[in-house]
């Protein structure tokens, strides 16, 4: 089987409104492409910061600008009018664990993705005024803080899956790289990951970005597998055409590393399904 459990029903820009994208017609566009590409399980995971309720967690100016939709309406739409798995991509905001838990308690999720997009107020994957690299930060410090935060996210127990686990590399050669061996930084996340029950997302989205690599890197993925963490396979699609993007490469990587099963999630219960295209 193949899953895609990290899917957005719209691009990230504010013009992509809920009205126009949380529709049966839009979802049909996704399910048609998924079936053409042999993807058996599709789960949607809208960004938490698009919903007004997110401001109970954090009032970052970027969130304030983006938090316009109603979380309950999104959940109702997915449950009542589609047969998609219902998920959400929730940021891990250190110190706000109780508030995150409160928001998550309000929904009957199939799965919750945990993402680290911000270090303090600075964004790891956004250019412009919030770009973490804008201030000339030391790359080793940025990477260390990113992976420490990722480990905390795992340890929080709030999430079923850690999304794009080495997102800090998203810019590839367009931003400074750490001088240290990246494995030093990965190690900073491993206590938290090893003590958690979280699944590790293998995401082909990095292949669409300047990083030109799957998330996570093989070295980091090997550490997670040694910590006996299961794998969730996703594309982080923001359009139907992104679904299952370059899955051949992800499946080959997982096969090389001896991974034969991936995660499916329903009502936050995890099961393992055999990995691969149905023959």
Considering the complex, state which of residue 89 and residue 264 has its C-beta at the smaller distance from Zn ion. Answer: 89
Contact between 234 and Zn ion by CB under 5 A: the answer reads: no
Site for Zn ion in 193-212 (CB under 5 A): none
From 149, 147, 245, select the one nearest 203 (Cα to Cα).
245
Give the span between the Cα atoms of 52 and 145, in whole angstroms: 28
Residue with tokens 């109702």: 76
Task: Kindly give, in sequence order, each residue whose CB lies less than 8 Å from that of residue 256, ignoring residues fewer than 6 positions away.
Answer: none
In angstroms, what is the minimal distance from the CB of 123 to Zn ion? 11
Q: Which lies closer to Zn ion via its Cβ, residue 29 or residue 276?
A: 29
Shortest distance (Å) from residue 129 CB to Zn ion: 19
β-bridge mates for residue 43, sequence order? 85
| Pair 224, 200: CB distance under 8 Å | yes
**CA 82 and chain centroid, separation:** 21
**Cα separation values, 202 from 89, 130, 193, 196, 228, Å:** 15, 26, 15, 17, 15
Cβ 274 to Zn ion, closest distance in Å? 25
In the bound state with Zn ion, the residue whose beta carbon lies nearer, of 115 and 156, is 115
Which of 69, 166, 236, 264 touches Zn ion by CB under 5 A? 236
| Residues 74-133, interacting with Zn ion (CB under 5 A) | 89, 115
Q: Which stretch binds Zn ion (CB under 5 A): 133-141, 189-197, 229-237, 260-268?
A: 229-237
In whole angstroms, the minimum distance from the beta carbon of 10 to Zn ion comes to 11
For the CB of residue 125, give the shortest distance to Zn ion in the complex, in Å.
7
Whichever of 123 and 142 has its CB closer to Zn ion, that residue is 123
CB 34 within 8 A of CB 264: no
Q: Number of residues interacting with Zn ion: please give it, by CB under 5 A.
A: 3
Task: Tell me the C-alpha to C-alpha distance, in Å, between residue 9 and each of 27, 242, 262.
Answer: 7, 11, 23
Binding site for Zn ion (CB under 5 A): 89, 115, 236
């Amino acid at each position: 089987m193949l899953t895609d459990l990290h899917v957005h029903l719209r691009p990230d820009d504010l013009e992509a409104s809920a009205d126009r994208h949380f529709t049966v017609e839009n979802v049909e566009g996704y399910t048609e492409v998924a079936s053409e590409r042999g993807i058996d399980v599709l789960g949607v995971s809208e960004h938490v910061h698009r919903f007004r309720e997110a401001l109970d967690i954090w009032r970052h100016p970027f969130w304030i600008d983006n938090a316009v939709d109603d979380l309950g309406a999104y959940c109702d739409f997915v449950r009542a009018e589609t047969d998609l798995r219902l998920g959400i991509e929730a940021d891990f905001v250190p110190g706000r664990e109780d508030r995150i838990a409160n928001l998550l308690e309000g929904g009957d999720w199939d799965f919750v993705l945990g993402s680290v997009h911000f270090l303090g107020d600075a964004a790891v994957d956004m250019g412009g005024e919030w770009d973490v690299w804008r201030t000339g930060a030391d790359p080793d410090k940025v990477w260390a803080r990113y992976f420490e935060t990722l480990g905390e996210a795992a340890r929080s127990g709030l999430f079923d899956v850690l999304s794009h686990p080495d997102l800090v590399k998203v810019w590839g050669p367009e931003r400074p790289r750490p001088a240290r061996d990246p494995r030093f930084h990965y190690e900073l996340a491993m206590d938290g990951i090893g003590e958690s029950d979280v699944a590790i997302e293998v995401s082909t989205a990095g292949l669409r970005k300047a990083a030109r690599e799957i998330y996570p890197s093989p070295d980091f993925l090997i550490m997670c597998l040694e910590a006996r963490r299961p794998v969730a396979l996703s594309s982080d699609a923001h359009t139907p055409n992104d679904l299952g993007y370059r899955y051949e490469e992800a499946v080959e990587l997982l096969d090389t590393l001896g991974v034969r099963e991936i995660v499916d999630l329903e009502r936050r219960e995890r099961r393992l399904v055999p990995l691969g295209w149905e023959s």
